[in-house]
Amino acid sequence: MTQGQPAAGIIDEDITDPPAEWTEPEPEVPAQAPPGPAAIVHSAQSILPGLALTGAIALAAYGVRMIPGLGLLSPLVIAIVIGMAFHNLVGTPKAAVPGVKFALRRILRFAIVLLGLQLTVAQVRSVGAVGFSIVAFTLFATFFATRWMGQLLGVERKLAELIAAGTSICGASAVIATNTVTRGSDEDVAYAVACVTVFGSLSMLIAPMLLPYIGFTAHEYGLWTGSAIHEVAQVVAAAFQGGQEAGEFGTVAKLSRVMLLAPLVIGLGLVAVARARSEDGAGYARPPMPWFVFGFIAMMLVNSTGIVPVEAKAPIVTTTTFLLAVALGAMGLETDVRKLRNKGLKPLALGAAAWLFISGLSFVLIATLAT
């Protein structure tokens, strides 16, 4: 027996090597206490530079709209253009990054919740069963047709989905809301916003010129603009060219279309879960459920009760639009123009095809069913 070697038969189990399957238990980690006041203050201070920058971009967007000829452009579109120009020409300061990301997540979701205060159930009812059916069918048909055309053209699925949402629902707001579950890149969002801006603006200019030749009543023309044109501001501009009745009905039809943003985004979230499960081969995938959409629905129901004072509605609309402009400015600050250029012209062709589809389908449905 060599020195240090125990005698056979008297080996104590306590000094043998542990079995292969045995692992040493991890030490208990004490529960972390909630962040103290100092940590909260530090976190708040870290986002201030980015919020100041995105806020300044949003204010600049409103200033640009005062230039003659640019007043019809949405401040959301101008904000993302200014943000992109700043990021690609000057560069987003490192100190601003936390606040930019905060604007992209928290402020964006809060603004979409506030959008619900611009809708009521009564507005949707006033469109009528036929009118709402036309709006809903056009929306969902355009969304799925655009995704299908995107596959034919070879456009990336996420970008095609964002173009589909922006075209079928409500422009830039729908793009950024849908991206919470689609999870496309910032360049995807910027490209989709550009598509819906260009083609929505074309509709805004062309629709009033066609009015004398299409034989629509004011009611039918308003329904057409509300169900076919991309942005709310574009609808208002085009619809009121047909008179007060057309303008009011077009605006209400458009807002009923915006209401359908909630079920579409929730549905896309459920589809994303199913896709993740099938691709991962696992039985579990964290649902990218857009909980803020339920806040949107809740705000619409609150507004439907009539408890929101009339004098508060205009400031709410202004605040909501400003916060969305802040979020779009942040989006621009994270968008690389070189990556945008690399996507080519196929997504633009998809945006054009989707624009023609929604304009033509809604026109045929109104001419057939609404007369």
The one-letter amino acid code at 273 reads V
pLDDT in the model for residue 41: 65
Residue 48 lies in a domain: no
The whole-number average pLDDT for the span 57-79 is: 87
pLDDT one-digit tens code per residue, 263-292? 888 888 888 777 767 765 544 445 455 567
Structure confidence at residue 359 as a pLDDT band (50, 70, 90): very high
Contacts of 299 (CB under 8 A, 6+ apart): 113, 114, 115, 116, 117
Q: Which of 219, 57, 63 is nearest to 127 (CA)?
A: 219
Task: Note down the domain range covering 215.
Answer: 117-320+343-369
pLDDT one-digit tens code per residue, 290-328? 567 788 888 989 999 989 898 998 899 899 889 988 988
Q: How far apart are CA 218 and CA 234, in angstroms?
A: 17
Residue 100 lies in a domain: no
The whole-number average pLDDT for the span 30-59 is: 76
Burial of 143 per CB tally in 10 Å (0-12, 13-18, 19+)? buried
The one-letter amino acid code at 341 reads R
Q: Does 115 score more than 90 pLDDT?
A: no
Residue 97 lies in a domain: no
Contact 233/203 with Cβ under 8 angstroms? no
Residue 66 lies in a domain: no
Q: How far apart are CA 43 and CA 54, in angstroms?
A: 17
Residue 84 lies in a domain: no
Q: How many Å is the maximal CA-CA distance in the chain?
A: 111
Query: What SS3 state is found at 164?
Result: helix
Supply 173's token pair: 């707001």
Residue 148 lies in a domain: yes
Residue 61 lies in a domain: no
Residue 57 lies in a domain: no
Residues in the chain: 371
pLDDT in the model for residue 313: 87
pLDDT in the model for residue 1: 46
Structure confidence at residue 38 as a pLDDT band (50, 70, 90): low
Contact 323/110 with Cβ under 8 angstroms? yes
Please tell me the total count of domains within the chain.
Answer: 1
Q: How far apart are CA 15 and CA 191, in angstroms?
A: 67
